[in-house]
Structure 1
Amino acid sequence: MEKTLTHQIRKTTLIALTAALLLSGCGGQQGTGTTTSTQSAGASGEQPAVLTYALATSPDSLDAGASGFAVSHRVFRNIFDSLVSQQKDGSFQPWLATSWTKSEDGKSYTFKLRQDVKFHDGTPFNAEAVKANFDHIFSGGRGQSIPLLGPFSSADVVDEYTIKISLTKPFEPFLSGLSSGFLGISSPKAIQEYGDQYGKHPVGTGPFRFVSWAENDEIVLEKNLDYKCGPPTAENKGPSHLDKLVFKIIPEEATRIGSVQSGQGLAAETVPPQLISVLQNDEKLQIDQSITNGTAFSLYFNTKSEPWNDVKARKAVQLAVDVDTIVKTLYLGTYERAWSPLTPGMLGYNAALVNTVQPNVQLANQYLDELGWERGADGVREKDGKKLTLRYLEPSPNREKRNDIAAIVQQQLKQVGIQVNLNITKDTNTPISKGEYDLFGNSQVKADPDILTNLLRSDRLFTKGGTNWSQLADPNIDKLLEQGAQESDLQKRKAIYEEIQKYMIDNAIAVPIYVFPYTVAHSKAVEGLTFDLLGYPQFYDVQIRN
């Protein structure tokens, strides 16, 4: 017997439904040609509404099933719709699926699909199309989509508008994964037609159609005139208010922000902390911020590397690093200090960890003394003729001032006799894969606490191709992570992840540093910009006021 989680879409009259089918529903436009923005400007001769949005980095691919970049998601979320939509309270509503049932054993989900949808190329949206997307994802074997699907087993067509997805075991984050843009639904025809080049020719059912991509310059999308199935989180129910959405790729910080200040562009992402107060005082501009949910930026210990395999040595570092000073100095009050590896907006965030770890140089020195590390003539501790060194690996191009964090940590640990050797490099393959590091900084994005599975499970070690940078292999933590992924009782699930976070802090597995606020500067003429649960911008409701 199955537990029904049915959600009915809004009822329409027979006439309206027939018209919707003729117009290709929410996904497509008649024919497969490209629509120009002048079509949607109207007969009145009004200027097209064009939003130019400056990105700090370039997408790797616009193939949702193959990409692993957050910046890619910001672009292709506008091209693709998902089967379900996750609300701010964590619940789920229909999107391309009208309803679904979950089996009693939690190992399968059966989705009823909308019957009035076509892709931008005219291909019908149906169960075969959904199956083709899962086949595409697992044939590529890359990107964020595979971990979001967890123990995926198969996608089977029941009938034209019904698909059954089977798992090898219960997986509570499954619906959350399906709601992500990384599992947005692509046209099976386009996937087959473009092959390896599909990432440069994306075709979905969403409010915007792909037009062009000039490498390291701009990506142009235009409105889908027939769109009428926006997510339930949106106020808009028809085509986008924007005629065109142009993403300009401008890595240089001053140029990117300057484009908005000068009026050359209407919006720009990733505003540096030192400019936020300046822009807030500009009467023509507005600053919007949204916490990026998932894991806070944290420094992960390699718990297999001596002497940091000793919890007392790790705690000495934990106590010697003054996180408040780092965050206040570098971010000028614009970033929130992190207390847990999870961000505060996450299900199961352990608020009891706030204020539990404060700098204590005296105790840090005491721990190192107890471990037999004595000060040398140069101030660096030594033991058995070996200096106490910590290899700090930082792979980012000073993203969010992470290189500066490394430099400050180096100075702070010098006070307790630890010599920090910085390795600031984009090439992490050799040091990571060989375990040649002691401390590694990173953050991840996901709307479910199961993200800790990728960071802590013993079968996800980075030296074996996973993302467990701490090299932790604790059977009890493996067991808790498995329970957390399968537990359907919300309160029990929260308690499991609270326990895991406490373990990470008590055992100094990681040192949380900051919670990243995705910051956008835009003209006050731009209204309706919102953010999803991941902290990514949503443009479907955006309007440009003169």
Structure 2
Amino acid sequence: MKTGRKLSWWKFGAVTLAAIIALTGCSSASNKEGNTSPAKAEETKAPVQGGELTYALATSPVSLDPHTNGLAVGVRIINNLYDNLVVQLPDGSVKPWLAKEWTISEDGLTYTFKLRDDVKFHDGTPFNAEAVKFNFDRVIDPATKVSNAFALIQPYQSSKVIDEYTVEVKLASPSQAFLRNISQGTLGIVSPTAAKQYGEQFATHPVGSGPFKFVKWDENSEIVIERNPDYKWANETAVNQGAPYLDKISFKIVPEEATRIGSVQSGQVLAAETVPPQNIVSIKNDSKFQLLSTNTGGLPYTLFINQRKQPWNELKARQALQSAIDVTSIVKSLYLGTYDQAWSPLAPVTLGYDASLENGVKKDLDKANGLLDELGWTKGADGIREKDGKKLTLHYVDASPNREKRNDIAAIIQQQLKEIGVDVKVDITKDYVNQIFVNDDYDIYGNSQVNADPNSLYPFYHTAAPTGRPTLHGYSNAELDKLLEDGAVEKDEAKRVEIYKQVQHHVIDNALIIPIYVFPYTIAASNRVQQIKLDALAYPRFNDTYLTK
């Protein structure tokens, strides 16, 4: 199913519940859309122990250390190797997992977690309060070289071990997002013993306490995980609270989309993610296969305009891009109605999403040309604008491979901006991390983030700390900073929603970004595969998964 645009937060639970419903292996249309309950499926088929699930991924992870991983594809494996202190349910509520219970001080600065006493990591190390302290401190340690985990754990300050199974966590300021954030895969709990033993090599030698254990990683080819026979501490989203039914999962790295979907249809793999738009209908209509799809929350795929580069520090120049880029035609032509267009820095299923922004920005070449004329950029004989002897160029950087047709978006925008006299230089690179985050060598770069809370906007749009990573757009505004700070601590949900609506309008009104699409996570699978589930953030979980003959 695809989630609708105008969903309030309480409705988010009903929508995402359908995402947690399993791929049941039935051939009816309703089951392909994930509309049959797991309980009903269990009445007709008993789970089968054993077997290997082969699962094709669209890209390769960069790390299986949750704290240093920066890609959503990594979380699809990480979530099955590690556990978290808490779990977020489909209705947005947070429930116990490795933490049995917790209390929060009146000032919102101290969280005291009571932990399970029966959990062991894959290397035999016991899980306890010392392990929690080690993990949280590791995330804020610059030596760890963390990625998204650092932003998620903010405003964490310190931890104190009260006793073996009680830990006290201090925050620098209250945070309405903290519990939801620590439920995410990138804050999974790692084995302190293994993390110390492997150091930076922990990224390829992961050790958690999850339902599956790491076996091997053949770079750009395959990642294999196997059943953890000692597992007995699943969270309440799993029907199976013990060890998984599957013996093994082999994740195949298959970037080329035709090859990836073809491998499912030919039986080379049993399941594959990110189904190409042109194959959605055929999979739905083929009784041998099933399809699961749900829109992700957080930040949609968005093009950030780098204001550290001229002339994009000028509002009118950015507004010209905003008016010249025809996002509607891009989304329709590339995704054939299977992706929703993004209109905001937030995805529609996220708390605080402002639907009033929809259809607010439209293609207007006259406006775009007029804005550039006002800035003194005039068209030369070759149709490219010039000013003070300098051509108007835009350096558009994107990553390789062509994930979700993002390279194709760059090519289309190159042609669209040529119409208003902008010479777009498209740079597709595997070394995007250094080019973007180290060398600041770009004018436009696209990014997205799966997240459960609108506070995910904070690290992307709040003025960066002097020693922190610069924002992708380089914009700094005291009013926007204050809104983001207020949104992080506001306890009244209705007031919080209004704050984030103001944030979204500020971002769009100041043309900081070009929102492109909302990503629907899709899985095509053989009908032999039973009970793959997507969690509240649309990541696959395999606790309940089994295979039929």
- TM-score of the superposition, structure 2-length normalised? 0.85
Deviates more, 1:261-270 or 1:213-222: 213-222
> 1:403 Cα shift?
1.7
> 1:78 Cα shift?
0.9
1:25 aligns with none
| Structure 1: segments with no counterpart, 5+ residues | 1-45
Task: Verify the 8 A CA contact 2:435 2:442 in the aligned structure 1.
Answer: no
Structure 1 position 250 matched with structure 2 position 250 = no
In structure 2, what residue type is equivalent to 1:120?
Answer: H
SS in 2 for 1:444: strand
Which of structures 1 and 2 has the bigger CA Rg?
Answer: 1
1:24 aligns with none
Aligned with 1:510 (options 502, 509, 513):
513
1:526 aligns with 529
Task: Verify the 8 A CA contact 2:110 2:171 in the aligned structure 1.
Answer: yes
Aligned with 1:67 (options 69, 75, 79):
69
* Pairs within 5 Å for 1:231-270: 231-270=235-274
Q: Which has the higher contact order (CA 8 A, sep 6+)?
A: 2
SS in 2 for 1:458: coil
Deviates more, 1:289-298 or 1:366-375: 366-375
1:452 aligns with 457
Task: Verify the 8 A CA contact 1:433 1:465 in the aligned structure 2.
Answer: no
When residues 200 and 481 of structure 1 are mapped into structure 2, their CA distance, relative to the original with a 3 A threshold, is same
* Pairs within 5 Å for 1:528-543: 528-543=531-546
> 1:471 Cα shift?
0.5
In structure 2, what residue type is equivalent to 1:127?
Answer: A
Between the aligned partners of 1:481 and 1:75, the Cα distance in structure 2 is: 31
Between the aligned partners of 1:212 and 1:351, the Cα distance in structure 2 is: 45
Between the aligned partners of 1:410 and 1:251, the Cα distance in structure 2 is: 24
2:482 aligns with 479
In structure 1, what residue type is equivalent to 2:312?
Answer: W
Task: Verify the 8 A CA contact 2:437 2:469 in the aligned structure 1.
Answer: no
Between the aligned partners of 1:288 and 1:211, the Cα distance in structure 2 is: 27
Between the aligned partners of 2:401 and 2:255, the Cα distance in structure 1 is: 11
Structure 1 position 368 matched with structure 2 position 381 = no
2:402 aligns with 398
In structure 1, what residue type is equivalent to 2:338?
Answer: T
SS in 1 for 2:299: coil
* Pairs within 5 Å for 1:26-65: 48-65=50-67
1:91 aligns with 93
In structure 2, what residue type is equivalent to 1:446?
Answer: N
* Pairs within 5 Å for 1:345-384: 345-384=349-388
Between the aligned partners of 2:437 and 2:96, the Cα distance in structure 1 is: 41
SS in 1 for 2:203: helix
Between the aligned partners of 2:183 and 2:93, the Cα distance in structure 1 is: 11
> 1:417 Cα shift?
2.4
Between the aligned partners of 2:418 and 2:51, the Cα distance in structure 1 is: 55
| Structure 2: segments with no counterpart, 5+ residues | 1-47
Between the aligned partners of 1:492 and 1:533, the Cα distance in structure 2 is: 24
1:112 aligns with 114
Structure 1 position 488 matched with structure 2 position 491 = yes
Between the aligned partners of 2:347 and 2:68, the Cα distance in structure 1 is: 26
2:225 aligns with 221
Aligned with 1:340 (options 344, 352, 357):
344
Task: Verify the 8 A CA contact 1:454 1:467 in the aligned structure 2.
Answer: no
> 1:465 Cα shift?
6.0
Task: Verify the 8 A CA contact 2:50 2:546 in the aligned structure 1.
Answer: no
2:295 aligns with 291
SS in 1 for 2:77: helix
Between the aligned partners of 1:125 and 1:71, the Cα distance in structure 2 is: 26
Q: How many residue pairs get matched?
A: 499
Between the aligned partners of 2:493 and 2:420, the Cα distance in structure 1 is: 43
CA distances 1:64-101 after superposition (whole Å, capped 9, x unpaired) = 23322322211121121111011222211011111111
When residues 230 and 467 of structure 1 are mapped into structure 2, their CA distance, relative to the original with a 3 A threshold, is farther
When residues 307 and 282 of structure 1 are mapped into structure 2, their CA distance, relative to the original with a 3 A threshold, is same
CA distances 1:173-196 after superposition (whole Å, capped 9, x unpaired) = 211121012222222333334444
SS in 1 for 2:408: helix
SS in 2 for 1:120: coil
Task: Verify the 8 A CA contact 1:292 1:536 in the aligned structure 2.
Answer: no
Between the aligned partners of 1:526 and 1:393, the Cα distance in structure 2 is: 39
1:16 aligns with none
1:418 aligns with 422
Task: Verify the 8 A CA contact 1:223 1:242 in the aligned structure 2.
Answer: yes
Deviates more, 1:333-342 or 1:116-125: 116-125
Aligned with 2:179 (options 175, 178, 196):
175
When residues 85 and 368 of structure 1 are mapped into structure 2, their CA distance, relative to the original with a 3 A threshold, is same
Structure 1 position 79 matched with structure 2 position 85 = no
In structure 2, what residue type is equivalent to 1:502?
Answer: H
* Pairs within 5 Å for 1:318-337: 318-337=322-341
Between the aligned partners of 2:175 and 2:49, the Cα distance in structure 1 is: 49
Between the aligned partners of 1:432 and 1:136, the Cα distance in structure 2 is: 22
Between the aligned partners of 1:324 and 1:198, the Cα distance in structure 2 is: 43
In structure 1, what residue type is equivalent to 2:327?
Answer: V
Task: Verify the 8 A CA contact 1:460 1:468 in the aligned structure 2.
Answer: no
In structure 2, what residue type is equivalent to 1:455?
Answer: F
Segments of 4+ moved more than 6 angstroms: none
Between the aligned partners of 2:422 and 2:202, the Cα distance in structure 1 is: 50
Between the aligned partners of 2:443 and 2:208, the Cα distance in structure 1 is: 43
In structure 1, what residue type is equivalent to 2:455?
Answer: D
CA RMSD of aligned residues (A): 2.2
- TM-score of the superposition, structure 1-length normalised? 0.86
Deviates more, 1:128-137 or 1:143-152: 128-137
> 1:145 Cα shift?
2.0
Task: Verify the 8 A CA contact 2:397 2:428 in the aligned structure 1.
Answer: yes
SS in 2 for 1:493: helix
In structure 1, what residue type is equivalent to 2:279?
Answer: L
In structure 1, what residue type is equivalent to 2:445?
Answer: F
Percent identity of the aligned residues?
A: 55
When residues 209 and 425 of structure 1 are mapped into structure 2, their CA distance, relative to the original with a 3 A threshold, is closer
Between the aligned partners of 2:431 and 2:231, the Cα distance in structure 1 is: 43
Aligned with 1:438 (options 433, 438, 443):
443
When residues 115 and 355 of structure 1 are mapped into structure 2, their CA distance, relative to the original with a 3 A threshold, is same
In structure 1, what residue type is equivalent to 2:495?
Answer: K
In structure 2, what residue type is equivalent to 1:369?
Answer: D
> 1:472 Cα shift?
0.3
Between the aligned partners of 1:220 and 1:420, the Cα distance in structure 2 is: 41
In structure 1, what residue type is equivalent to 2:329?
Answer: T
In structure 2, what residue type is equivalent to 1:382?
Answer: E
1:10 aligns with none
